Amino acid sequence: MRFYFLICALWISAYLPVSANAATKTLMIVGDSLSAGYGLQQPQSWPALLQDSLEQKNSVWRIQNASISGETSGGALARLPALLQQHKPTAVLIEIGGNDGLRGFPVNRLRQNLQQLIELSKAAGATPVLMQIRIPPNYGPRYTEQFVAVYAELAEQHRLKLWPFFMDNIAVRPELMQADGIHPNAKAQPIIRDFMLPFIEEM
């Protein structure tokens, strides 16, 4: 009888870690057209491809893509409270700011909005993750440098992970860009997925 209970105990302990790891975690992407799959079918977009890869790896993570084409930091800030309440994410990837820069919005406004996005995520119990965003240099070196620096400053201030911009190695390759020269095409999406996957797995 004691042997039977010992076997049962070993069997249960062997399966407990699996059960503990089976809890699903949600990474909600709050981004713009670069994450929304602009000009593509949704299954082609890198967040959808990333979700497929995570499922194949039996990862605890799933992707909730809340990105909208044309989104600004102000628009994301207005939407975030409802998104947090609806999806209750474990982590929030903030991929926002490109449209602020393209429209020449003040850097201080971008900083304030990103700050509030971070604080709202924390208050909801989600871990904020900030993505470095870059803009074309034709806005002048002073504005461009100040824009880029905001992300590192906020990441340091809030002790956040600052993920590198997934477009850095895409935008310089015309064969991976759509005709507008701004958005990645279908060929680029698996490359972005492969770039992002290790960061998700590290979390």
Alpha helices in 44-165 (DSSP H): 46-56, 73-87, 98-102, 107-123, 141-158
Could you tell me the two tokens for 58? 């039996």
Q: Which of 166, 163, 162 is nearest to 153 (CA)?
A: 162
Q: Would you please indicate which residues are annotated as catalytic (active-site) residues?
A: 33, 180, 183
Cα angle, residue 42 at apex, residues 81 and 67 outer, rounded to 5°: 20
Scored b (16 or more CB within 10 A) or e, 113-122 reads bbbebbebbe
CA distance 174 to 171: 7
Picking from 56, 44, 98, 186, the residue whose alpha carbon sits closest to that of residue 65 is 44
C-beta separation of 13 from 51 below 8 A: no
